[in-house]
Amino acid sequence: MASDARHPHRWGFADTRLEFDGPRSVRMTGARYPLSGQSMPHLIPYVEHMLGVSFDPADVMPESTPPVPPPRLNSTLMAALERLLPPERRSTDPLFRLAHSHGQLAVGEVDRLLYGGRFARVADVVVEPVNEDEVRAIVAAAIEHGACLVPYGGGTNVSGALLCPEDEVRTIVSIDMRRMRRVLSVNRANGCALVEAGITGAALEEALGALGCTCGHTPDSLEFSTLGGWIATNASGMKKNRYGNIEDIVVEATLVTPSGTIETRRPAARTSTGMQPLPLFFGSEGNLGVITKALIAIHPKPEECRYGSLVFRSFADGVAFLKAVRAEGALPASIRLVNNREFRLGQALRPAAHGIHGWKSALQRKWLFGVLGFDPAALAACTIVMEGTSHDVARQERALRRLAKRFRAVWGGAENGRRGYSLTFAIAYLRDFFSQFGIAAESFETSVPWDRIEEVCAAAERTIASECAARGVAGHPYLSYRVTQTYHAGVCIYFTMAFSGRGLADPGGVFHDIEQTLRQVILDHGGSLSHHHGVGKIRQRFLPQVHSDAGLEVIRAAKRAIDPDNIFGIGNGACGSSQTGTSIS
Amino acid sequence: MASDARHPHRWGFADTRLEFDGPRSVRMTGARYPLSGQSMPHLIPYVEHMLGVSFDPADVMPESTPPVPPPRLNSTLMAALERLLPPERRSTDPLFRLAHSHGQLAVGEVDRLLYGGRFARVADVVVEPVNEDEVRAIVAAAIEHGACLVPYGGGTNVSGALLCPEDEVRTIVSIDMRRMRRVLSVNRANGCALVEAGITGAALEEALGALGCTCGHTPDSLEFSTLGGWIATNASGMKKNRYGNIEDIVVEATLVTPSGTIETRRPAARTSTGMQPLPLFFGSEGNLGVITKALIAIHPKPEECRYGSLVFRSFADGVAFLKAVRAEGALPASIRLVNNREFRLGQALRPAAHGIHGWKSALQRKWLFGVLGFDPAALAACTIVMEGTSHDVARQERALRRLAKRFRAVWGGAENGRRGYSLTFAIAYLRDFFSQFGIAAESFETSVPWDRIEEVCAAAERTIASECAARGVAGHPYLSYRVTQTYHAGVCIYFTMAFSGRGLADPGGVFHDIEQTLRQVILDHGGSLSHHHGVGKIRQRFLPQVHSDAGLEVIRAAKRAIDPDNIFGIGNGACGSSQTGTSIS
């Protein structure tokens, strides 16, 4: 079977994790990230201060692997798969099956895997097709012999979408798509490439980069998530202002379903040819079939990529600035605004300052706080990525600097911008470090109209405080947030929530309840159910608040038409039922 | 019933048409357009030269109105409609019913109405709801009493979408939506407005304009077409670079269907909440229900709107320029490139030049052709609309002028740009003028990848020449084209075709055959079935070339789920059958 450098259950690479390098200091192992190898003396004190609990290396919870239920193997199906695929591309290995039966929910998936949970149902067999014909043959075998198929991409889903329905009695076949990773053709004149859907973002950028091109789609999960997974969750990338979200990037795609292959035979930049099947692929979450390939927009690598950062006196100032940036028509590829807590978390990840760096940093602080009078407990910060021709990048920076003055912001320089942007890829490792101490931490996101940003953030803060108090959570809950995307009509707010589960009888259950309460509060205050994480299983019950009954029914009708026997029976979103749902906690 | 200033059958306003003001000269009546009232001495000579036939006022064909078949009125349905709507919002007037039973196809609709054709089936009754509840009641009555419902917006469709299926035995109710034209709410902070779907573009811009805002969607049919019609055909607007096409503008919409109201209860700028019903509305062409309202993006009126124009030595130079403009990131709101013939048509619409204007124009020609050596039979031209802050508009113009030099273009000034842009709204009147002489003229469009633009245009030119020769068409056929939109992966090409039907036994049939042949040739050379006109009835037979079988089937399944009794039985696109199709010629 395909092996990779990833940890089978935790986030990310197996060689990368946080570990103590002193009683109060941590370091990131490996050499993959800017943070790697550096000693970080400020992180533990910051998190202790924020959560009101202490961390001692001796408190690390021991890891265990949950028992894996025996596979339910339909012998005629297995015989058919044996005819279709060589042994190295079929597996019933228990740990491999388990690794294909979860995503990256910190609470409900990763914590259950590592700290004594159990999975009632996991994939029974994992297969690895290498081309579309094999996918079609696997689907045909599943129909003939009665199996349940689950497409598997990068395994980075955070909505419970990969959890197997507990009442599924058929053999569950996980289709690991990562061997289907070829760039099939590139057309520079039209700026597009036909790519197999199992390619990861990192591999895609590497392949296109060798041709001087980029796709530009940059989700936080870029290293692991796949093109097919992006489509199935309706993913968003950090540089969407320049390259678009996944629905803007994909010109056309192919979906292999039980009722045949759905694709447009004549892809075009834009058409009016009646109702289209393609939009159904976005957010299909494995319910309809296997996305096998897509024609995607590609671009020449930008002549220049320049980072920038800004410090604001308040989050509100930063939001007003983001709005003005849109109006001004000077949108950089990426512009994100972190709130005070998230800014301070970033600061807490800095290495011990030595020599000139320490001196410079002290001087900067003196200038910001002493001379300009910024309040360290109120400021917020933007990280900016500008791409384009040198001329255009220079223009963007000029426009941003000019606007920044109007919002009393201080230009924080390119290095802070680069650092803030890159932290994105390292931050998930923090979650797994602190989960060893029973810290339940998770991110969740929403899209909010511009005029309700403050309201939604304040409501979320109030809710987590009151919920944690009511449930006897030790210390203080932590909630930070950032605006990760802006649109004409609103923004994406990305929250990070954490609290200590110590002393709670069922910390996962408490977390789940609080998360669901928060979700309702966000909906009640004008937020959407999700901006880019999806529905999966953990947000299914809110769908009737999103769509009218007739709207949900037409989605289900499409599912029934495409997959009348529910071969793709993973049961996500509108295609799941609360009866067959998997419990998360 | 609602009356308007429009001609019931021809394009546009009743007070506006071309008429002879001399034996070789025409003028546009009325006072609505920049062209109105001006004597145009060059048009007849140009068209005579192009088509190789002559025009004499004495040759104008006499107009007649076709016989209107008697209405098929289901008495229980009619009684229900009487209970629902006051008499002034119900009509069985024959001409009113006829006016609601066609769009603006020059050949197959308008020519049949005016020059002795016939319609086997038209709407039996026209109703005018004023709110969503009335629409729901009409749909309920149609279900209860067994009627066929046809939503009617601006009547500007050019794909035969409003033609009633000849074999429809139920009472056909045309739902004229134009009384549902309120702007229900405006939220400036979030840049959106909730608007009833029967509002015309002109009325929408007027209402928003009073608030200092604009939607910015500018299809050629802006004066007459409606928000609901834009969604149902997946419309494109001239200024889409700034404001987006209709699918970018609509945040959320409401569709009243036989199985209930489909809408998203929590509209958001962008979401990942599973599969969505909304995309089905775009291109639904009346097949699913009535679009009653939409939440749309609105913008403050731009600080500045500036026009520009460029003259290129060749169409190919112009295309290369358009591509470079995208790469440079300096896209104006609108940029369109006309080929040589279309440029010369624009010149032929100029008034007689007098005094300083004539002298200036002669000098410009001398400079362009004599000094710079442009070939008058090869040049092409761009019209440009720049919008934004004054700063941004100035930047766009600088960037465009800088780029233009690289492509050996000459800046043609703002006035030519404004004129070229405004001509769009007047040009359809030309079609109806020449149809009086038996000229069959129509526009059709496609989207094409960048690297096949030249190929598609050349193939279309060859095809029309050989087809007309083979069918004994008198004189020469005329084919002009322009690039009206650019995208990352390609462009929209908008063709205008004309030839004389004189001496042909069945000119409409010949036109139809040639149009269908051209469409196939365009598909064969990489063009799409349509960029923004839609499928309707005249392009249905090509759909199997566009979608895979399973793709078409999922669209039909959605239709069946939403409208199991085919109440919305207009039969467009994938929801029509060739058996029940209406003959166009």
Mean pLDDT of B530-537: 98
**Spatial distance between the Cα atoms of B478 and A383, rounded to a whole number of angstroms:** 56
Instruction: Band the pLDDT of A355: cuts 50, 70, 90.
Output: low
Give residues with Cβ within 8 angstroms of A72, minimum separation 6: A124, A169, A170, A171, A172
pLDDT the model gives residue A584 = 46
Instruction: Band the pLDDT of A60: cuts 50, 70, 90.
Output: very high
**Spatial distance between the Cα atoms of B434 and B116, rounded to a whole number of angstroms:** 16
Mean pLDDT of B66-73: 95
Mean pLDDT of A387-392: 92
pLDDT the model gives residue B584 = 46
Given a cut of 90, is residue A299 above it in pLDDT?
Answer: yes
Q: List beta partners, residue B220.
A: none
Mean pLDDT of A8-22: 94
What beta strand segments (E) does A17-129 contain? 18-22, 25-28, 39-40, 90-91, 125-127
Inter-chain residue contact A546 with B273, CB threshold 8 Å: yes
State which residue of chain A sits closest to B295, comparing Cα positions: A489
Label residue B123 exposed, middle or buried (CB < 10 Å: 0-12, 13-18, 19+).
buried
Mean pLDDT of B216-234: 97
Given a cut of 80, is residue A25 above it in pLDDT?
Answer: yes
Nearest to A262 among B268, B550, B558 (CB): B550
Given a cut of 70, is residue B580 above it in pLDDT?
Answer: no
Minimum distance, in Å, between the CA of residue B29 and any CA atom of chain A: 34
Mean pLDDT of A486-504: 96
Alpha helices in A11-93 (DSSP H): 43-51, 75-84
pLDDT the model gives residue B3 = 52
**Residues of A whose CB is below 8 A from B303:** none
Q: What is the pLDDT of residues B504-528, one digit of tens each?
A: 999 999 999 999 999 999 999 999 9
Strands B213-214 and B299-300: antiparallel
pLDDT the model gives residue A585 = 41
Q: Which range has the worst mean pLDDT, B200-214, B225-239, B410-424?
A: B410-424
| Two tokens, residue A195 | 């790519």
**Spatial distance between the Cα atoms of B526 and A267, rounded to a whole number of angstroms:** 9
Percent of chain A with pLDDT over 90: 89
Inter-chain residue contact B532 with A190, CB threshold 8 Å: no
The three-state secondary structure class of A76 is helix
pLDDT the model gives residue B92 = 98
Inter-chain residue contact A245 with B270, CB threshold 8 Å: yes
Q: Choosing among B272, B299, B484, which should be mutated to test the A contact, i.e. which has the most A CBs within 10 A? A: B272
Label residue A23 exposed, middle or buried (CB < 10 Å: 0-12, 13-18, 19+).
exposed
Q: What is the pLDDT of residues A530-585, one digit of tens each?
A: 999 999 999 999 999 999 999 999 999 999 999 999 999 999 999 997 533 444 44
The three-state secondary structure class of B513 is helix
Q: List beta partners, residue A171.
A: A147
pLDDT the model gives residue A356 = 66
State which residue of chain B sits closest to A524, comparing Cα positions: B266
Average pLDDT, chain A: 94
Q: Which range has the worst mean pLDDT, A154-168, B167-181, B347-361, B471-485?
A: B347-361
Burial B30-49 (b: 16+ CB within 10 A, else e): bebbebeebebbbbbebbee
| Two tokens, residue A566 | 């529910």
Given a cut of 80, is residue A147 above it in pLDDT?
Answer: yes
Indicate the angle between helix axes B315-328 and B390-406, nearest 10 degrees: 130
Nearest to B530 among A245, A273, A554 (CB): A273
Mean pLDDT of B2-9: 78
Average pLDDT, chain B: 94
Q: What is the pLDDT of residues A176-196, one digit of tens each?
A: 999 999 999 999 999 999 999
**Residues of B whose CB is below 8 A from A550:** 257, 259-262, 562
Alpha helices in A27-67 (DSSP H): 43-51
Q: What is the pLDDT of residues B416-459, one digit of tens each?
A: 999 988 888 888 899 999 999 999 999 999 999 999 999 999 99
Inter-chain residue contact A191 with B259, CB threshold 8 Å: no
**Residues of B whose CB is below 8 A from A297:** 488-489
Instruction: Band the pLDDT of B559: cuts 50, 70, 90.
Output: very high
Mean pLDDT of A359-381: 86
Q: List beta partners, residue B382.
A: B310, B337
Strands A125-127 and A90-91: antiparallel
pLDDT the model gives residue B357 = 65
Note the ipTM here.
Answer: 0.95
Q: List beta partners, residue B187.
A: B192
CB atoms within 10 A of CB A502: 14
The amino acid occupying position B270 is R
Q: What is the pLDDT of residues A63-82, one digit of tens each?
A: 998 899 999 999 999 999 99
Q: Which range has the worst mean pLDDT, A355-369, A496-510, B324-338?
A: A355-369
Give residues with Cβ within 8 angstroms of B443, minimum separation 6: B158, B494, B495, B496, B497
Nearest to B251 among A260, A489, A546 (CB): A489
The number of residues making up chain A comes to 585
State which residue of chain B sits closest to A576, comparing Cα positions: B274
DSSP A223-252: TT-BHHHHHHHT---TTHHHH--HHHHEEE
Contact predicate B116/B64, CB 8 Å? yes
Q: Among A345, A342, A428, A423, which residue's Cα sits nearest to residue A18?
A: A428
**Residues of A whose CB is below 8 A from B456:** none
pLDDT the model gives residue B585 = 40
User: Hunting for tokens 């959560």 — which residue is that?
Assistant: A51
DSSP B276-331: -SHHHHTT-TTSS-EEEEEEEE-EEPPSEEEEEEEEESSHHHHHHHHHHHHHHT--
pLDDT the model gives residue A580 = 38
Q: Which range has the worst mean pLDDT, A388-397, A481-490, B524-533?
A: A388-397
Mean pLDDT of B308-333: 94
Mean pLDDT of A151-172: 97
Mean pLDDT of A271-282: 97
pLDDT the model gives residue B116 = 86
pLDDT the model gives residue A354 = 67
pLDDT the model gives residue A426 = 83
Mean pLDDT of A202-231: 98
**Spatial distance between the Cα atoms of B577 and A118, rounded to a whole number of angstroms:** 54
B478 is catalytic: no
